[in-house]
Amino acid sequence: MRRDALPTTVPFLDLRGAVGAHKAQMMAAFERVLDSGWYVMGRELQCFEAAWASYCGASHAVGVANGLDALILALEAVGVQPGDEVIVPANTYIATWLAVSHLGAVPVPVEPDPATCNIDVTRIERAITPRTRALLPVHLYGQAADLVPIIDIACRHGLAVVEDAAQAHGACYRGERIGAHGDAVAWSFYPGKNLGALGDGGAVTTHRDDVADRIRVARNYGSRVKYHNEVMGRNSRLDELQAALLMARLPALDSENAARAAIAERYLDELDGLGRHGLTLPLVPAYASPVWHLFVVRHPQRNKLAQALAERGVGTVIHYPVPPHLQPAYAHLGLKAGALPFSERLHEQVLSLPIGPAQTPLQTEFVIDALRSVLPTL
C-alpha cells in the first residue's frame, strides 16, 4: 500500500512489508550462500555471531536452531540438571517453561508485576528452595525485566540467571543493551520477532567463555572436532542461509525499532484519555527502553473490544489467551484456576494492538480512531 493511501483495514502485523523492505540485501545474501557450496557451520554463521555479539555488547554469540533450543542450551550450560527448580514468570509464552521441563527440571512460576507484566521481583525470594538452580526472567513484549534486583537475588542465593530475550532485540536496561547482564541470554529469530529470519533461528549471548564453549559443543552433536564427541550433544545449528539473511537485516534493526517506538509513542499519547473507558496502557518504568515487539493494552471486556475492532478492520492478537499453568501440557503441576490470580487476570484482559516497522502513520491513526469510537460503546 502507498504510504499516503487511506487505510480501510490495518493488519496486526504486516510481515511481508517488514521483510520486503530488505529484499535486495536478502536476495544478495541468498545468492552468496547458494553459490558458496557450504550450507551449515561456515563463514556466514561466524560473521553473524560476531555481529550479534557486538550488537548486544556480549563477548560471545552462539547461533542455534530456534529460541526454545537457545533456552534449553543456555539452561544446560549454566548447570541446570534433572530435578532442579528454575524460577520462571507465570506470565510468558509457554516456551520459557518448556525449556526448563525438557531438561527434566521443574518450572516454578512467580506472578507478574501488574504494572509491567514482567516478573515481580519482590516475589522471587519466596519461591526459592534448596533445589532452585536458576532464575529465568523474560523481557516480555520487548521491555526489559528489572535485572539489577534479579541478579542481586541470584548472587545472594548462588543461582544462575538465564534471560529469555526472544521478544527484546535491541531493548535497553538502564541505558545498556540487554544481552550480557545474566549468565546467558537466549534469543529467537522466528520470522515475527523484531529481528527475524525466513524460518527458525536462535542464539545465546553471554559474557562467560565457559558457557559459550559448552553451547558451541552441545549444539553440534557434542563435537569440537568432527567425529569426536565429548558430550551427548544435539543438532541445533543456525544454518548459513538464515545467518546470512539475519546479517542482511541487522543493520536496519535500530531504525525498525525506532519506527515501532514512534507508533508506541502515538498510542501512549493519543489513547491516554481512554482510561475512563476501562483501557489500561502499558507502563514503561524508568529503567527500560522497550523495543515494542508487542503493544499490549488491557481491558475488562477484552473479547468484546477485539470483536469491535475486528469489525472496523483492525487486527489484534491475544498474547496469550491461556497461561502456561492452565494449559493441558502442565496439568501435572496441579496448579488450578486461581493459583496465579495476577497472571490469570492478565490473560483475560490483554490485547495486542497492531505495531510493526511497516505500519504507516495513517494506519496508526486508523487504529487510534477505531479505539476512540469503539471503547465508549462497550
Ligand X SMILES: *Cc1c(COP(=O)(O)O)cnc(C)c1O
Residues that bind ligand X (CB under 6 A): 66-68, 92-93, 95-96, 138, 164, 166-167, 188, 190, 200, 202
Q: Which is nearer to ligand X, 29 or 88 (CB)?
A: 88
Q: How far is the CB of 159 from ligand X (least distance, A)?
A: 20
- Residue 240, C-beta contacts closer than 8 angstroms, at least 6 positions apart: 33, 36, 38, 39, 40, 41, 42, 43, 44, 45
Q: How far is the CB of 247 from ligand X (least distance, A)?
A: 18
Q: How far is the CB of 184 from ligand X (least distance, A)?
A: 14
Q: Which is nearer to ligand X, 164 or 256 (CB)?
A: 164
DSSP secondary structure string for all residues of 257-281: HHHHHHHHHHHHHHTGGGGGGT-B-
Q: How far is the CB of 264 from ligand X (least distance, A)?
A: 18
Q: Which is nearer to ligand X, 89 or 357 (CB)?
A: 89
How many whole angstroms separate alpha carbon 156 and alpha carbon 90? Answer: 23
Q: Which is nearer to ligand X, 202 or 356 (CB)?
A: 202
DSSP secondary structure string for all residues of 176-234: EESSSSSSEEEEE--TTSSS--SS--EEEEES-HHHHHHHHHHTBTTEEETTEESS---
How many whole angstroms separate alpha carbon 8 and alpha carbon 4? Answer: 12
Q: Which is nearer to ligand X, 274 or 346 (CB)?
A: 346
Q: Which residue is nearest to ligand X (CB)?
A: 67
Return phi, psi of residue 133, to 5°: -115, -30
176 contacts 287 by C-beta, under 8 angstroms = no
Q: How far is the CB of 369 from ligand X (least distance, A)?
A: 30
294 contacts 355 by C-beta, under 8 angstroms = yes
- Residue 132, C-beta contacts closer than 8 angstroms, at least 6 positions apart: 84, 85, 86, 87, 108, 157, 159
Q: Which is nearer to ligand X, 68 or 100 (CB)?
A: 68
How many whole angstroms separate alpha carbon 230 and alpha carbon 350? Answer: 46
Q: How far is the CB of 189 from ligand X (least distance, A)?
A: 7
How many whole angstroms separate alpha carbon 33 and alpha carbon 39? Answer: 7
Tell me which DSSP letter residue 340 carries. S
Q: How far is the CB of 98 from ligand X (least distance, A)?
A: 9
Q: Which is nearer to ligand X, 196 or 233 (CB)?
A: 196
124 contacts 174 by C-beta, under 8 angstroms = no
Q: How far is the CB of 238 from ligand X (least distance, A)?
A: 11
Q: Which is nearer to ligand X, 245 or 271 (CB)?
A: 245
User: What cell numbers appear for 175 in the block?
Assistant: 541505558
